[in-house]
Amino acid sequence: MPASVVLTLLLAQSLPAETGDAANMERIRRQLAETPAIVVPPSLPRDGLVFRGTAHGRKPDTPAWADRSGVPPYVRAPFPSYHFQFLQQVTPEEFRAGTLYPGAIGLPIGTLIDLLVRDVKLAHRKRQETRAREEVRKALEELLACRANPARPGC
């Protein structure tokens, strides 16, 4: 079936059949009459609807909690206006500051987490370097002791 569609499109774009070569037309008719090498079975009917989708997106350059705006957080609402209006209606007056303006009150948790991760990585690296230096120092002491006294056990 697909081959015949492609052939039809090719023939529709070519010159009229009267000016074409009769041998080529006969060859094309023979090839269309042959059984195709690959047969695609029809798809089986399924119960219900089948929806398929593909989502493509790029990975953000900055962490999700980073402020990607030049507008200060105390001016820009951290969520859509309908959410802000809903929170304004359901939040008691004494709790509105922390709920409606979380960027203006409280600690910047994202920044603190970044700093904490950096400090932990630095401490871990320093600990590894200290252990490696200690291991090298002990190995050097053993080597010098073996050179000084080759009859010592373990040398």
- How crowded is the C-beta side of 36, counted as CA atoms within 13 Å? 8
Q: Tens place of pLDDT for every residue, the chain, 155 residues?
A: 677 777 777 677 655 555 568 888 888 888 888 887 788 777 777 777 878 888 888 887 777 777 666 766 666 665 667 777 888 888 888 877 766 666 666 667 788 899 999 999 999 999 999 999 999 999 999 989 888 888 888 77
Domain boundary assignment for the chain: 2-33, 74-106, 121-155
State pTM to two decimals.
0.33
Residue 144's alpha-carbon distances to 131, 133, 135, 139, in angstroms, are: 20, 16, 14, 9
The predicted pLDDT at position 136 comes to 93
- How crowded is the C-beta side of 85, counted as CA atoms within 13 Å? 3
Question: Which ranges of the chain does DSSP label H, i.e. alpha helix?
Answer: 2-13, 22-33, 81-90, 96-100, 109-148
Number of neighbouring beta carbons within 10 Å of residue 91: 14
